[in-house]
Amino acid sequence: MSVRLTPEAAADIREVFDWYREREPALGLEFLAAFAEVSRRIAEFPESAAEVEAGIRRAPLRRFPYCVFYLREGAGPVVLGCFHAHRDPQVWRLRGRT
C-alpha cells in the first residue's frame, strides 16, 4: 500500500523541512528521513497509529515534535497533514472533514 499526501500535507512537510534546513541543513534532511520512516510504517501497518478521532489517526515522528495525521481509505492511507505536537487540533480536524 502506498501513502498519498493531500496538497496541504505536502505544503506542511515542505514548510517544516525549510524551517529546519534554515537552522541547520542536515536537520532538514533528517526531518525528511523521519517523515519517510513514519510513511513506511503507515503504509505497512495503517491501523498501528492511535485513532484520535473517528477515522483519523496520528503517527508521531521520531526525534521531531511533529505528528502525521491520516485517514485510511480503500486505496491506502491519505496524509492530511504534518503538524507540530502542540498545534491547535482544530486544524487537522477541519482537514479531516473535507
Residue type at 67 in one-letter notation: C
Res 85: pLDDT: 80
User: Is the model's pLDDT at 80 over the cut of 70?
Assistant: yes
pLDDT at position 47: 92
DSSP line for 29-62: HHHHHHHHHHHHHHHH-TTSSEEEETTEEEEEPS
C-alpha span between 37 and 3 (Å, rounded): 12
Confidence band for 60, pLDDT divided at 50, 70 and 90: very high
Domain containing 79 — which CATH number?
Answer: 3.30.2310.20
CA 67, 72, 49, 35 dihedral sign is negative
pLDDT at 98 over 60: no
The tally of domains found in the chain comes to 1
Domain extent for 57? 4-96
The pLDDT value given to residue 96: 56
Q: Any residues with CB less than 8 A from the CB of 65 and at least 6 apart, and which?
A: 84, 85, 86
Quote the cell numbers at residue 33: 528521513
The alpha carbons of the chain give a radius of gyration, in whole angstroms, of: 13
